[in-house]
Amino acid sequence: MNSVTQVDELVKEYLLFRGFSNTFRVFEQECRNDKDKGFQADKIIEELFSYITSSDIDGLLDYWKYLDLRYFSRLDARFFESVKKFEICLIRYYLVYATQQKRKDKILEFFETFGAELNGNPEWLKWFGLPFSKNPASDPNFETFFTRQWLETFTISLHNFLNTIFQNMSLPSLLCFNLDRLHRKTLRSEIESLRIEIENLKKEKANGDTEITSLKQKVAQHEMTGYPRRRSTASSINKHEIDNGIKSPEMFADDQSMTPISEYDIDDSHGHIHPFTVTSQEMFLENTSGITVAKISHQGNLIASSDVDNIIRIWSYAGSSSPTVKLSNSNSNILSLEWEARSDKLLLYGTDEQLIKVYNKESRSIIHEFKMDEQFPKVNQISCSPVESLFACSGSPKSIDDMCNRSETGSLITLNLKTMTIQDTFMLKASSKSPSSLPLMPIETIKFNHNGQMLVTGDKSGYIRIFDIRTLTPIMEWNISNSSKIGSGVICSSQFSFDENSIYVVDESGELSQWSSRKPGSVMSQSQLQGFPPAMPITSTNLTPKLSRKRTPSMSSIRSIKSTRSTSSIPAIIESTPYVPTSRVPMIAFNDDTEYLVCVGDNGGTQGVIYQTSNGEQVQTLKSHRQYLTAVDWSENTIITAAMDGTVRVSRMVNS
């Protein structure tokens, strides 16, 4: 039906060519008065709503009668009930709009005209009280019809209904001919595009072959030397230290981490070729205390890392001359970090004191602060839409005790980065559906799908929810604990698969499960990630480590002191104030096509491990850190691993 307007223009052109001027004028006049609106559902709905906004009930009913005779009466009998419901909703919206515009006269006029016809109809019984309700928008009988959600649902349903009718209509030969012509034109264009793409792929292959040859040469040169650990802004070894014959601790790694790159090409224990060839693994020392969260930007150029001193550092690992940016947040604990998905311009971070701050890298300033509901001050997770200036975040109470005495246990909020306003809010209400005696837990993980129209969330109660981002209402939900084999049900990662037909879930016992996104609660596969989760580190003190440790001027924190650094290793974190992660959410990341994921894994939790999502098989390991890993992230061909000693290792890879 999209070609109707084009065919109309062709007919006009033909009539003028033949000299049929009178026919041309009549045809043009009828096109202007076209009640079918070119078979465009949105224009038909616009016409219907124009009668509502002008309070023309006769025009509204006449136009609906035309549509009924023209289209609806020709449908199968099973659709008649749907048509009747659409008519009822349309008239109700007429009354709702009149109420909102304070046109009580039009409401009374409607019931005077149609009251006798509607009397006795249970669909309309309560509506006779509308003119006498003091506040219909709050009246239980009418409040649903005054909400934006009801209007949007009705409009979308009517739009889809009309489109379905138009798409299934028998077309005249002229339209079929034009469609065939357009199809051939589109096909030719697609063939030409494919030819260009093939040529580009040939060029990329040639360039790739050259790059592989260059990488092999570098591998040969580095087989005996390994890779240096450095600061992102460090230029080289300090000249003074060279003169004294001392190696800089910021430039040279200890022997245990100096694994030649050739050892990452083949798994000798299994004889399997690794899916990735690691081209470099460099260590960076931007942070001076244990890292809690680390995120690589979506364009892969920058890293943001937050530590237990609640200091965020933004830095480049790719040789950029840009200095490291340091953001101090001494008044609250930083719980979450996220880069804006469409650029490296904005960094968002959430705290445990109600605030979400938006930092602009270009202006080097906090450009806005969003404030959460005071009953849900902890911003556990932030996720940005991949297609628009929108992000979602979850809020939770200060403690589990705070959840026990309230009906609402958490919130999910969407916020607009253009208007800097809260867009929608979803409150997580306590429910008897929870499989345990614990209250329904706040949302811990949030991920958008590829077009930003849906997002999936997971919580510690085992609930997976898929939301429609336009209304922020759950489309479906289920609990993984009901089907888990050996899992804990405490979700620490939930992610749409690349084709979005399923949801990958990792719980805190290391169970990787794949769930259908079409059939709620239908598990497609389950496997165990060997090595995840690793045991929490054992400390020599009896202190209970806490994330909610705020920085004060007197605190030494978990810190690597520059003046006492060894030249052969990274110093240990001060054991009198140990930091043990309280959440494993930052310890898992999927690659772009969700075929692989990286987790904190082997060697006592000091090493990143890559698993295959189809079967949970461990396929590759990365170099170890000195101390326990607290965060991982994956962007395109770069993985970062961050540890309690303040180190960040950047591993760059290519597909094998």
Cβ–Cβ under 8 Å, residues 470 and 152: yes
Give the pLDDT score at 579: 58
Mean pLDDT of the chain: 80
pLDDT value at 263 more than 70: no
Nearest to 439 by CA among 412, 404, 487, 411: 404
DSSP 316-346: ESSS--PPPEEEE-TTS-EEEEEE-TT-SSE
For the ranges 240-254, 297-311, 423-437, the lowest mean pLDDT is seen at 240-254
Domain ranges of the chain: 35-169, 239-256+263-655
Tell me the mean pLDDT in the region 303-311. Answer: 93
The structure tokens listed for 266 are: 């083949």
Q: What is residue 10's predicted lDDT score, i.e. its pLDDT?
A: 81
Smallest CA-to-CA distance from 498 within 480, 514, 519, 475 is with 514
**Mean pLDDT of the 42-49 span:** 92
Q: What is the pLDDT of residue 227?
A: 40
Residue with more model confidence, 550 or 362: 362
140, amino acid identity? P
- CA angle at 119 for the pair 113 and 124, rounded to the nearest 5°: 95
Across the beta sheet with 378-384, what order do the strands follow?
A: 378-384, 390-396, 408-416, 421-429
- Reply yes or no on whether the pLDDT at 439 is more than 90: no
Per-residue pLDDT, 16: 83
CA–CA distance, 643 with 656 (Å, rounded to integer): 27
Beta pairing partners, 612? 596
One-letter amino acid of 586: P
Kindly report, residue by residue over 148-185, the tens digit of the pLDDT. 999 999 999 999 999 888 877 776 767 666 555 666 66
Query: Given this model, what pLDDT does residue 502 score?
Result: 93
Measure the CA–CA gap between 447 and 454, rounded to whole angstroms. 9
pLDDT (mean) for 97-125:
90
Q: Is residue 629 within 8 Å of 587, Cβ to Cβ?
A: yes
**Mean pLDDT of the region 48-69:** 92
Confidence label for 108 from pLDDT (cuts 50, 70 and 90): very high
Of the listed ranges 173-182, 247-256, 329-338, the one predicted with least confidence: 247-256
State the pLDDT at residue 601: 84
Q: Where does the pLDDT of residue 484 fall: very low under 50, low under 70, confident under 90, or very high at 90 and above?
A: low
| CATH architecture of structural domain 239-256+263-655 | 7 Propeller (2.130)
Instruction: Specify the pLDDT at position 221.
Output: 57
Average pLDDT on 486-510 reads 88
Query: Sorting pLDDT into bands at 50, 70 and 90, what band is 254?
Result: very low
For range 639-643, the mean pLDDT: 94
- Residues in Cβ contact with 229 at an 8 Å cutoff, skipping those fewer than 6 apart: 250, 251, 252, 253, 257, 282, 283, 284, 285, 647
Structure-model confidence comparison of residues 403 and 13, the more confident one: 13
Query: Please, are residues 436 and 463 in contact by the beta-carbon 8 Å criterion?
Result: no
Residues 504-542: tens digit of each pLDDT? 999 988 999 999 988 888 999 999 999 888 876 654 333
Q: For residue 73, what pLDDT band results from cuts at 50, 70 and 90? A: confident
Give the residue with greater pLDDT, 287 vs 540.
287
Task: Tell me the mean pLDDT in the region 414-421.
Answer: 92
Given this model, what pLDDT does residue 178 score? 56
Q: What is the rounded distance in angstroms from the CA atom of residue 498 to the CA atom of residue 92? A: 42
pLDDT tens per residue across span 551-606: 443 333 333 333 333 333 344 443 434 556 778 899 999 999 999 999 998 777 89
Task: Please state the φ and ψ torsions of residue 407, each to the nearest 5 degrees.
Answer: -80, -25
pTM for the whole structure: 0.57
